[in-house]
């Protein structure tokens, strides 16, 4: 069994881990996802909602908070960690795929107690996320797998989020998908208002059904089920469209997150740029409009996408008068890059 170890904040690394599990299953290999927060002490986990709400209200606070990212190893419940280590041993885990640095002390202790198992440090971002940056001194003990690599300006590996080919440019809905990542943070609502003022239709993912009611004609609003928590449900986030005079009907897809469907049909995705969003865009050959990031790693993600010719900053796009021509050019570039990376799940399944 391959143990896929994910963690927050946000959902990008966790959803990427879920996609890897699904892809391994397609290839006949067993993989299981373990979310760090599911193994935390309840009182520590209860603080997540308060942090999420504070960061949604004040994005500047979120940026300061990630700069102060501290070691959360003491958040783990020791009894739960001992139980999961025994389970890994009993299930004969043959590889750990670590999407969050929160897990590295745990897998290193596992090696001391039960013997070494290969560890892949899998970077969903193009530069070290805060959880990996804090463990930078130990990363070179393990194999590092980069889905996007800003240092090398390359896309070495990928996880196929869907087997569906990208939609042709002329078949797309001409909407821009705008969201704030798994925690709905950032400046995307302000930028969405600018696009609406320019009469550009949007697919907007909001935090609350009453949010951003006045959008350009042809726009739609969506939201994740606010009652859903990934440490209680190991599936993809339930998602629904907000329709006037009716509560959202949330649906949970079995093989992918439904924001990917919106990405496939959009002419661009506009967001603070976590690795999960880049993977969606790369899979769908959908251009990226980068907004201010949650931290240095997300700012690096934006620069990476611009340098690779697959993204543009919001300010630069605004200077074009929100022209679709640079987006069409980036779509073609994404198609050209599609076959460059190696299939990470296939490599795991066959070794």
Residue 145 has pLDDT above 60, yes or no: yes
* pLDDT(239) > 90: yes
pLDDT band at 297 (very low <50, low <70, confident <90, very high): confident
**Judgement on whether residues 73 and 157 belong to the same structural domain of the protein:** yes
Domain identity same for 217 and 116: no
Q: Are residues 120 and 150 in the same domain?
A: yes
The pLDDT of residue 33 is above 80: yes
Domain with residue 42: its CATH number is: 3.40.50
Q: Which residues contact 316 (CB under 8 A, 6 or more apart)?
A: none
Q: Residue 65 pLDDT more than 60? A: no
pLDDT at 64: 53
Shared domain check, 185 and 105: no
Using the predicted structure, report yes or no on whether residue 68 has a pLDDT greater than 50: no
Cα separation, 291 vs 271, whole angstroms: 6
Tell me, yes or no, whether 147 and 37 share the same domain: yes
The answer to whether residues 156 and 22 belong to one domain is yes
Same domain, 212 and 141: no
Residue 12 confidence (pLDDT): 85
**pLDDT classification of 70: cutoffs 50, 70, 90:** low
Pick from 232, 252, 230: nearest CA to 240: 252
Q: Nearest-5° angle of CA 48, CA 227, CA 280?
A: 80
Domain of 278?
A: 169-337
pLDDT at 292 over 60: yes
Q: Residue 338: its pLDDT value, please?
A: 94
* pLDDT tens, residue by residue, 198-231: 999 999 999 888 887 789 999 999 999 988 888 8
Helix residue ranges per DSSP H, the chain: 12-26, 42-45, 47-57, 59-67, 78-90, 104-114, 130-133, 188-197, 259-265, 275-284, 296-308, 314-319, 325-337, 344-349
67 and 198 in a common domain: no
Percent of the chain residues topping a pLDDT of 70: 91
pLDDT > 90: percent of the chain: 70
How many structural domains compose the chain?
Answer: 2
Within 10 angstroms of residue 45's Cβ, the number of other Cβ atoms is 17
Examine the domain organization and report whether 88 and 157 are in the same domain.
yes
Is the confidence at residue 59, as pLDDT, over 70? no
Q: Tell me, yes or no, whether 16 and 149 share the same domain.
A: yes
CATH number at residue 332: 3.40.50.2000
Between CA 272 and CA 62 the distance in angstroms is 12
> Cα–Cα distance between 351 and 333 in angstroms, integer?
32
Are 50 and 95 contained in the same domain?
A: yes
Report yes or no on whether pTM surpasses 0.85. yes
174 & 249 share domain: yes
């Amino acid at each position: 069994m391959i143990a896929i170890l994910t963690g927050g904040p946000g959902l990008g690394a966790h959803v990427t881990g879920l996609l890897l599990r699904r892809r391994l299953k397609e290839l006949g290999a067993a993989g299981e996802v373990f979310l760090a927060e599911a193994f935390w002490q309840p009182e520590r986990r209860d603080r997540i909602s308060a942090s999420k709400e504070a960061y949604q209200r004040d994005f500047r606070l979120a940026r300061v908070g990630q700069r102060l990212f501290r070691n959360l190893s003491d958040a783990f419940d020791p009894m739960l960690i001992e139980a999961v280590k025994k389970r890994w041993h009993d299930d004969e885990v043959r590889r750990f795929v670590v999407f969050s640095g929160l897990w590295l002390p745990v897998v290193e202790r596992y090696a001391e107690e039960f013997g070494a198992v290969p560890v892949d440090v899998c970077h969903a971002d193009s530069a070290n996320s805060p959880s990996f940056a804090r463990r930078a001194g130990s990363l070179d003990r393990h194999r590092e797998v980069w889905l996007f690599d800003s240092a090398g300006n390359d896309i070495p590996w990928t996880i196929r989020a869907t087997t569906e080919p990208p939609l042709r440019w002329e078949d797309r809905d001409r909407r821009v998908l705008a969201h704030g990542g798994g925690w709905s943070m950032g400046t995307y609502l302000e930028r969405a208002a600018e696009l609406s003022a320019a009469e550009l239709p949007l697919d907007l993912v909001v935090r609350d059904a009453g949010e951003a009611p006045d959008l350009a004609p042809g726009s739609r609003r969506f939201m994740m089920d606010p009652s859903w928590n990934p440490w209680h449900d190991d599936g993809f986030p339930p998602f629904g469209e907000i329709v006037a005079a009716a509560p959202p009907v949330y649906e949970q897809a079995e093989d992918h997150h439904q924001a990917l469907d919106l990405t496939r049909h959009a002419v661009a995705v506009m967001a603070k740029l976590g690795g999960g969003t880049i993977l969606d865009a790369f899979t769908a050959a959908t251009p990226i409009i980068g907004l201010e990031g949650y931290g240095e790693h997300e700012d690096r993600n934006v620069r990476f996408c611009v340098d690779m010719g697959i993204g543009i900053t919001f300010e630069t796009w605004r200077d074009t008068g929100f022209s679709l021509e640079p987006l069409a050019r980036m779509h073609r570039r994404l198609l050209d890059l599609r076959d460059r990376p190696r299939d990470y799940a296939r490599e795991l399944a066959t070794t």
